[in-house]
Structure 1
Amino acid sequence: MPSPTASPSLTIRGTGSYLPRTRLTSAQVDAMRGWAPGRCRARYGIDARHVAGAEETTSFMAVEAARRALDMAGWTPSDLDLILGACGVMEQPIPSTAVLVADRLGLGGSGVAAYDVNATCLSFVQALDLAALKLAAGEARRVLVFSSDIASAGLDWDRPEAAAIFGDGAAAAVLEAGEGAILARGFETYAEGHGACVLAAGGTRVNPARGIAAGEDRFRMDGAQAFRVASRYMPAFLARLLARGGLDRGAIDCVLPHQASAQALRHAGRALRLGRDRIVDIFAQTGNQIAASIPTVLDHAVRTGRLRRGQTALLMGTSAGISLGGAVLRF
């Protein structure tokens, strides 16, 4: 077994999440698509997902989640000295979503550093890693990390295998050095799967000034390809991740997986060889919230007592790329 890596100090002082006011049930999806009653629930394993209204922008939802995390910590926005946006899809290309959130928090004239980190569905895990490095280097003292995503803005309901499982929402965590730590972390990309999850518009390759072809402004997913690539590499990835921290599976009190799909959550349990009681699964009530999934599960676990001080949690998942990522935290 490799020697355990150093464990950077990182303590989560508060978590928060936000779900849009509109709840779209699978029964409503059945009616909308002309499906037999119960088909959406049976096929995709989801009861409902939330859909953002016009006023519930990415930055609005992020601030709602951030304020709840700050309240749990007993902090105010002025206590922060770094804001990391960790969204799968930004509110706009320029400036970053973190800048918009800083302004909404009343920090527009503060000089507090604010910028985005993007690894699609694994953005929150990558931002936690960056926050730990900043704290260890003394470049930050109190950090806000948020993920906020509006999947509904880019769904193509003619491709229900993707559209039916996604939901909108936001979640956040506020961090500082302390008794907590990142015990292990890892990130691997298998670019052979880069075509499995694609949103073509929004960058420089598909230029709105020259026109956008049909479908380029909608999310495209080959779920079978994404699952094949991820499932091929995930068991060995998780073994390497735990080995880096000198950990075994029995040391994990709580698994907080990306809520990619009902099938992906079942596979996570098999890959870890852990009982379902240790895996936090809220997919049926939220769907796949892109980057917001993992921090939403984290907030759920904290607020329901599934994750308590001193316990060890594994944050893990997959993202477009195809990438695999995870972090083991002492909470």
Structure 2
Amino acid sequence: MRRYSRISGTGSYLPPRRLTNADMVGLLAERGIETSDDWIVDRTGIRARHYADDGVNASDLGLQASLKAIEAAGCQIGDIDLIIVATSTPDMVFPSTASILQRKLTESAVAQGQAGAAGGAAFDVQAVCSGFIYALTIADAMIQTGAATRALVVGAEVFSRILDFKDRTTCVLFGDGAGAVVLEAVEHDGSGPAVLASDIHADGRHTGILCVPGTVSGGQVLGDPLLKMDGQAVFKLAVGLLETAAKAALAKAGMTEPDVDWLVPHQANIRIIQSTARKLKLSMDKVIVTVDQHGNTSAASIPLALDEGVRSGRIQPGQTAMLEGVGGGFTWGAVLLRL
């Protein structure tokens, strides 16, 4: 028998404000920028995205997704002894969004007469759109070593705050949202539900193709605090790296492409998703796609898609799922799991 981690509950949350492509066309027209629904759909597959209202932060979105995941896992907030939040749009410089989320979860628990989550480790992971893959890999390792027993892993983003609405090639792509999973320790012979393998990487030589080149110093913003992206360069890197990471995770688990029941990719662009599925010899009816309605929610996109697959009944207990993503850094990775 060996100690594994398994996903026992999933949850997600999208802010109520939904902007269709028609809304974006109007918004950009006010700024003298021309675009169209056809232009957006043809290049990205995106038809709508959600934006958080002013004053709503990543921790607020993460809280709602976390409560749903905890409920689905059949546990209580006080059972959580590790919180990892993947985000590129934190509530503040510090403390971590995970610490803020821990406080909000504890407040929610106390209001219900339950024990809170205070005392367990809580920290953020910054790997942009690969952030959830990184966070899940870290939580799995901590559970396997006994450093944690039940982890809450969250991807939460408010990317609408860092978009340049004078750049139609980037501002139409991104949305806000949060997804979460509860990861808990189990012991079995390897045939049960578990995180089976992971594979994560980075190559800092490509930092410039997807970045927000700004910072804060002396109370002033230095550089440019808005998102910049070389779309063609990202696309060329993404497809090959996603294939490599997925195959590496399969090899570590002693499995091959036919063993994968579902692909749950980062929802960046429908063309990247389709190309990756072809390379893994998976038909699109075995791919969870939410990019059309969510846009690119960065670190939140994979757990949002996973929750959609689980709650829709498509992803069933006992099936295998390949989670994979790429992001600024340049970062990439994959996690293979059995539900």
Under a length normalisation based on structure 1, what TM-score does the superposition of the two structures give?
Answer: 0.91
- Indicate the residue corresponding to 2:32 in structure 1: none
CA contact (8 A) 2:242 2:324 kept: no
Q: What is the Cα deviation at residue 235 of structure 1?
A: 3.1
CA contact (8 A) 1:197 1:222 kept: yes
- Indicate the residue corresponding to 1:209 in structure 2: 219
- Indicate the residue corresponding to 1:3 in structure 2: none
- Indicate the residue corresponding to 2:72 in structure 1: 72
User: C-alpha deviations, 1:273-295, integer Å up to 9, x for none?
Assistant: 21111111111000000100000
Query: In 2, Cα distance between the equivalents of 1:8 and 1:291?
Result: 27
Choose 188-197 or 319-328, whichever is displaced more.
188-197
Partner residue of 1:20 out of 12, 15, 18: 15
Is there any run of 5+ residues in structure 2 with no aligned partner, and where? 30-34, 108-115, 187-191
CA contact (8 A) 1:197 1:219 kept: yes
Query: In 1, Cα distance between the equivalents of 2:22 and 2:2?
Result: 46
Under a length normalisation based on structure 2, what TM-score does the superposition of the two structures give?
Answer: 0.89
Runs of 4+ in structure 1 displaced over 6 angstroms? Answer: none
CA contact (8 A) 2:21 2:36 kept: no
Q: Which one-letter code corresponds to 2:139 in the other structure? A: A
1:1-331 matched pairs, under 5 angstroms: 9-34=4-29, 35-36=35-36, 38-106=38-106, 110-178=118-186, 179-202=192-215, 207=217, 209=219, 211-213=221-223, 216-331=224-339
Q: What is the Cα deviation at residue 159 of structure 1?
A: 1.4
Query: In 1, Cα distance between the equivalents of 2:11 and 2:57?
Result: 17
Q: How many residues are aligned here?
A: 321
CA contact (8 A) 1:262 1:283 kept: yes
CA contact (8 A) 1:193 1:226 kept: no
User: C-alpha deviations, 1:113-140, integer Å up to 9, x for none?
Assistant: 2111221111111111111122122221
Partner SS, residue 239 of structure 1:
helix
User: C-alpha deviations, 1:236-282, integer Å up to 9, x for none?
Assistant: 33333321211111100111000011221122112212111111111
Choose 11-20 or 128-137, whichever is displaced more.
128-137
Q: What is the Cα deviation at residue 7 of structure 1?
A: 8.2
CA contact (8 A) 1:193 1:225 kept: no
Query: In 2, Cα distance between the equivalents of 1:284 and 1:62?
Result: 21
Q: CA RMSD in A?
A: 2.0
Q: Which one-letter code corresponds to 2:88 in the other structure? A: G
Percent of matched pairs sharing the same residue:
34
Q: Which one-letter code corresponds to 1:152 in the other structure? A: S
Is there any run of 5+ residues in structure 1 with no aligned partner, and where? 1-5
CA contact (8 A) 1:8 1:133 kept: no
Q: What is the Cα deviation at residue 207 of structure 1?
A: 2.4
Q: What is the Cα deviation at residue 37 of structure 1?
A: 5.6
Q: Which one-letter code corresponds to 2:324 in the other structure? A: M
Partner SS, residue 178 of structure 2:
strand
